[in-house]
């Protein structure tokens, strides 16, 4: 079983749609959780951290379910510029390293 698993997609959605990505992780000792965004042929960049109580940043909402070892990202009112690959990221044992999922590709169409 991979340490971090994501649906690779692609998710093809029209502008204005709401889209949700899910991610599961295997290490119950993980303490830190993030969503990164990677544009085509570019480096990954932090989108947002994920907190236990859930958190929102504009059109983006992240949630964490520790019991189920599950993380989600919700994008509302999607824009063309949201087209990218979204990477679920989880800290490893002792928090010393970050483990990336394979990513979920999103394509927002006009």
Binder among 23, 24, 103, 105 for another protein (CB under 8 A): 103
Alpha-carbon separation of residue 21 from 3, 91, 93 (angstroms):
17, 19, 24
Binder among 12, 18, 26, 32 for another protein (CB under 8 A): 32
Q: Does 107 bind another protein (CB under 8 A)?
A: no
Q: Does 99 bind another protein (CB under 8 A)?
A: yes
Site size toward another protein (CB under 8 A) is 21
Q: Does 16 bind another protein (CB under 8 A)?
A: no
Which residues have C-beta within 8 Å of that of residue 53, sequence separation ≥ 6? Answer: none
DSSP 3-state of 25? strand
Q: Does 46 bind another protein (CB under 8 A)?
A: yes
Q: Does 83 bind another protein (CB under 8 A)?
A: no
Residue 67 backbone dihedrals phi, psi, to 5 degrees? -65, -40
- Within 13 Å of residue 30, how many CA atoms lie on the same side as its CB? 30
Where does this chain bind another protein (CB under 8 A)? 31-32, 34, 42-46, 87, 91-92, 94-103
């Amino acid at each position: 079983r991979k340490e971090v698993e994501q649906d690779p997609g692609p998710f093809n959605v029209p502008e204005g749609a709401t889209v949700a990505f899910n991610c599961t992780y295997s290490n119950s000792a993980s303490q830190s959780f993030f969503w990164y965004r990677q544009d085509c042929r570019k480096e990954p960049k932090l989108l947002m951290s994920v907190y236990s109580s859930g958190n929102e940043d504009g059109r983006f909402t992240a949630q964490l379910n520790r019991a189920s070892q599950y993380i989600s990202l919700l994008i509302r009112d999607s824009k063309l510029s949201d087209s990218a690959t979204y990477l679920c990221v989880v800290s490893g044992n002792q928090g010393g390293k970050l483990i990336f999922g394979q990513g979920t590709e999103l394509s927002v169409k006009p």
